[in-house]
Amino acid sequence: MEAKDKMTNEELNQEKEQDINNDIIEEKEVDLQKQFDELQEKHSELNDKYLRLCAEFDNYKKRTSKEKMNLIDTANMQLIIDLLPIIDDFERGLESIEKNQTLDAIAEAYKIIYQKFMNILAKYGVEAINPIDEPFNMDLHEAISTIEGPPEKKNMIADVVLKGYKLNLQDRPVILRYAKVIVYQ
């Protein structure tokens, strides 16, 4: 009978061990499930934040693009407003031509109009490139012809056929039109 009791005690001990192991496994499963649920919740939060951030960035791009276009439109409008007096001067010049005023008066009127126009361009950062007797620079000039010249003037600009213009921006100048030049060879 003792053998039966021993087996039963051994079996009982094994069952108790099995129950303890099952309890430990259940606790670990519960802990793992909690961790999994927490990670899923964190994933959902991060995904939501990501989607909101993407939407905010899209709105930012649209808003800045719209602001940029408004700024360009405003700048263009101001340039046109500044050019209107020159149109008025041209109209007055045409009227004076029709009234047969002297060539000197007409020439003086057109010099004034030209100076006003150049002042407006300067106001907007436009500068003429008129490089006579300067070294030829491919970044600013376009050589349309070459002529024989003294050796000390080799690769120097002999004549400007058409002035160039550059726009002086804050970070760097931009060439609007290259100066068309004749270069000594």
Helix (H, G, I), strand (E, B) or coil at 133: coil
Residue 13 lies in a domain: no
Residue 151 lies in a domain: yes
* Structural domain boundaries enclosing 143: 125-185
Q: Is 8 contained in some domain?
A: no
pLDDT attached to residue 1: 47
Euclidean distance between CA atoms 67 and 83, whole angstroms: 24
Q: What is the pLDDT of residue 180?
A: 94
Is 55 a member of any domain? no
Instruction: Decide if 72 is inside a domain.
Output: no
* 184 neighbors 150 (Cβ within 8 angstroms): yes
Instruction: Write down the pLDDT at residue 169.
Output: 81
Read off φ and ψ for residue 139, nearest 5 degrees.
-75, -15
- pLDDT of res. 37: 94
pLDDT in tens, the chain (185 residues): 455 555 677 777 788 888 888 888 888 999 999 999 999 999 999 999 999 999 999 999 999 998 888 887 777 788 888 888 888 888 887 787 777 767 787 788 888 888 998 998 898 889 898 888 899 999 899 999 999 989 999 999 999 999 999 988 877 888 989 999 999 98
Among 146, 176, 182, residue whose Cα is nearest residue 164: 176
Residue 101 lies in a domain: no
Which CATH number fits the domain that encloses residue 139? 2.30.22.10
The answer to the question of residue 118 being in a domain is no
Kindly report the pTM of this predicted structure: 0.56
pLDDT value of residue 5: 53
Instruction: Give the model's pLDDT for residue 136.
Output: 95
| Residue among 125, 126, 135, 138 nearest 165 (CA) | 126
Question: Which candidate, 182, 177, 130, 175, places its Cα nearest to that of 156?
Answer: 182
Count the domains in the chain.
1
Name the DSSP letter for residue 178: P
